[in-house]
Chain A
Amino acid sequence: MKSDRLLAIWGVLVLAFLFAPILIIVVYSFNSGRLLTSWQGFGFDAYTAGTSRPAIRAAVTTSVQSAVGAALLSAVIGSLAGLALARRGGRWAAVLTLLLGLTLVTPEIMDAISLLGWFVSLNTEAGLPLFGDGVARLVIAHSVLSTAVVTFIVRARVAGLDSRLEEAAADLYATPWRRFRDVTLPLAAPGVLAGGLMAFTLSLDNTIVASFVSLPGASPWPVYVFSALRAGLRPEIAAVSTLLLVLTLVALAVVALVLRRSGDSPSDIARTMAGG
């Protein structure tokens, strides 16, 4: 039918639109010129320059360290909260859900300035050295942004499980800890993994909060790129971004594979990855 064909054309156009800038970045990462935006010729110079420049290596290392930290921290906190919310309702659960929802809809600039002030106070006035550490600051700040995502993914996962499985374990004299370790956790694991990897990519992606809380000497990759905007962009940035894109795609594929193995349909996977 004619309208179906129009819809299909629209679909292809939107996909092309979504991929256009990514393709441009990948293509321009092979630009051998000095400035990113003006194409000189094809070459791998940007890759060698990008992977050997100390400032870039330090920024990427900081990014990966804080992303791993944020993924672990928010996976632990968020999974426990997700379990609690799925299994126990009531007033406090509603308040916690509201609070988590608020973290999702708070403009990032608010998180950024509030955590900056808070970290400075905790470090200088309360004398806690932890909050003077660049990576620790990033881990905590990014976990604030992603705990809610992990919680909601795990809650959705656990709510779909039969609570009688845990009751059966309890009837068979499993202690609370064994019940958690042998029954609940394995069943919730795909949600925990999806949530953790989501937190990982959210952290790698974050620019605004990171540019406020990070310290000189420990600025993550997006902050490095953002400050390079003023100094003039070089092709190295596209090269390193392309490498990071590949890393993210691998992480994404792993999550999709795990979810598919645990029996999710493609739309379930999309729903999980889109945060509920």
Chain B
Amino acid sequence: MIRRLRAPHGALALPAWVFLLGFFVAPVALVVWYSFGYKPGLFGTHANDVLSLDRYGEALSGTFLRTFWNTLRIAVVGTLICLVVALPFAYWLAVKVPARWRGLLLALVLVPFWTNFLVRTLGWQIALSPEGPVSSLWQVLGGDRLDVLYTRAAVQLGVVYNYLPLMLLPLYVALERTSHALREASRDLGAGRFRTLVDVTLPLAFPGVASGCLLVFVPLMGDYVTATVLGGARGNMVGQLVAGQFQTAQNWALGSAMAVVLVLFTAGTVLLTAGVVLVVRKVVRTKRRVELEMAA
């Protein structure tokens, strides 16, 4: 009986296997292959008759590394600001807001999440432009014409804005699952509000913090649309360099190498951070006397 039930279920995954191998694994393998090639002459985009690691040497040049550090800084600062902004909000929504309002407020949070990414960014471009509403308001209040568009600050603002919902939702889900009983128990045992927050609520929210940071940081490293719209020439991100090699310079070999380096560096940063966080958690856990179980 069990066998009869299981057999067709395995086959159901077949289309997904075929699709992912055909349109995810194979194309990425192709990019890795291109990255070992070179650009043949003015009109070719790539050639692989001579294989070398030279494109990686070219990719790791000064411009790329400078842009990479710029991207990394925007991504790390953006992720941290998102976390700092989202954590109190998610806590408020999950714990303080009465249950009957929660659905409505969540729906409100989801609306920007599903509005076109590029269009929201254009909204900021209007808002921040020298003739825009923010600048006008500032001038009414007696300030000078604001010229914040096409600066790093504008890019940072846009990035925080665009990725904030991706941080908010996992945090909310994690905090919402933490039971009220545990917090009450902590208070009954004489812990102050701050102790309860630090020793009970935040450790329970940890999975949400981790997945939120991942969901913000990784796509942010590859994004260049936000930076192009709000940063202009100054908003150079690695994604832009890769795109330029494909769309302007027509050097697919170099562009491929850059993309591979970007993916490896991003993965490396994530793994390194995860490792450090896990070690710190382990140390903290051995010092703490009470073990908290996640309320499933």
Contact present for A115 and B25 (CB under 8 Å)? no
On whether the beta carbons of B223 and A108 are closer than 8 Å, the reply is yes
Residue among A38, A81, A100 making CB contact with B131, cutoff 8 Å: A38
The one of B23, B93, B224 that contacts A118, using a Cβ cutoff of 8 Å: B23
**Of B1, B30, B103, B221, the contact of A117 (CB 8 Å cutoff):** B30
With A14-B85, A96-B13 already in contact, the answer to whether A237 and B122 are too (CB < 8 A) is yes
- B117:A7 contact, CB within 8 angstroms: no
Alpha-carbon separation in the docked complex, A115 to B224 (Å): 18
In this complex, the interface size class of chain B, counting residues with CB under 8 Å from chain A, is 35 or more
Would B19 and A77 count as touching, CB distance under 8 A? yes
Interface residue? B60 (CB, 8 A): no
- A109 to B121 alpha-carbon distance, docked (Å): 18
Q: Please name the residue on chain A nearest to B104 by beta carbon.
A: A266
CB pair A81 B12 closer than 8 Å = yes
**In this assembly, does B120 line the interface, its C-beta being within 8 Å of a C-beta of chain A?**
yes
Task: Give the interface size bracket for A toward B.
Answer: 35 or more
Contact (Cβ within 8 A) B222 A110: yes
CB of A205 closer than 8 Å to a CB of B: yes
B17 within 8 A of A: yes
Q: Is the CB of B92 within 8 A of A7?
A: yes
Q: Which of A239-276 contact B (CB under 8 A)?
A: 241, 244-245, 248-249, 252, 256, 266-267, 269-271, 273-274
Q: Nearest-CB distance from B235 to chain A (Å)?
A: 12
Whole-angstrom distance between the alpha carbons of A273 and B114 in the complex? 10
B239 touches A107 (CB 8 A): yes
Q: Which parts of B71-124 form the interface with A (CB within 8 Å)?
A: 85-86, 88-89, 91-93, 96-97, 102-103, 105-124
Q: How far is A256 from B106 in the complex, measured between Cα atoms in Å?
A: 11
Residues of A within 8 A of B288 (CB): none
Q: Residue B116 contacts which of A7, A115, A244, A267 (CB distance < 8 angstroms)?
A: A244
A-B CB contacts (within 8 Å), total count:
275
Please judge, given known A-B contacts A20-B123, A266-B102, A266-B103, whether A10 and B89 are in contact too, CB under 8 Å.
Answer: yes
Q: With contacts A14-B89, A87-B9, A105-B214 known, is A25 near B31, CB below 8 A?
A: no
Interface residues of B in 20-43 (CB under 8 A from A): 20, 23-28, 30-31, 34
Within 8 A of B (CB), among A156-193: 166-167, 170-171, 176, 180
Q: Is A68 an interface residue (CB 8 A)?
A: no
* In the complex, B219 has a CB within 8 A of chain A: yes
A204 touches B246 (CB 8 A): no
Shortest Cβ distance from B239 into A: residue: A109
Interfacial chain A residues near B218, Cβ < 8 Å:
105, 107
User: When each residue 243-267 of chain B gets 1 if its CB lies under 8 Å from chain A and 0 otherwise, what string results?
Assistant: 1001100001001100100110010
Contacts of B116 in A (CB 8 A): 204-205, 221-222, 241, 244-245, 248
Chain B nearest CB from A274 CB (Å) reads: 4
Q: Does A151 contact B (CB under 8 A)?
A: yes
Is the C-beta of A121 less than 8 angstroms from some C-beta in chain B? yes
Residue ID in chain A nearest B177 by CB atoms:
A267
Interface centre among B106, B252, B256, B263, by most chain A C-beta atoms within 10 angstroms, is B106
- Which B residue's beta carbon lies closest to that of A87? B9
B289 within 8 A of A: no
Please measure, in the bound complex, the distance between the C-alpha atom of A114 and the C-alpha atom of B252, giving whole angstroms: 10
Q: Is the CB of A92 within 8 A of B10?
A: yes
Contacts A22-B120, A267-B173 known; list 11 others, CB within 8 Å: A19-B108, A21-B121, A25-B126, A84-B12, A84-B13, A109-B243, A143-B23, A225-B118, A225-B122, A233-B125, A252-B107
Q: List 19 A-B contacts (CB under 8 A).
A: A7-B92, A8-B96, A18-B108, A18-B112, A20-B127, A85-B13, A106-B28, A107-B219, A109-B222, A114-B31, A117-B256, A118-B23, A170-B1, A208-B224, A212-B246, A233-B125, A244-B119, A267-B106, A267-B173
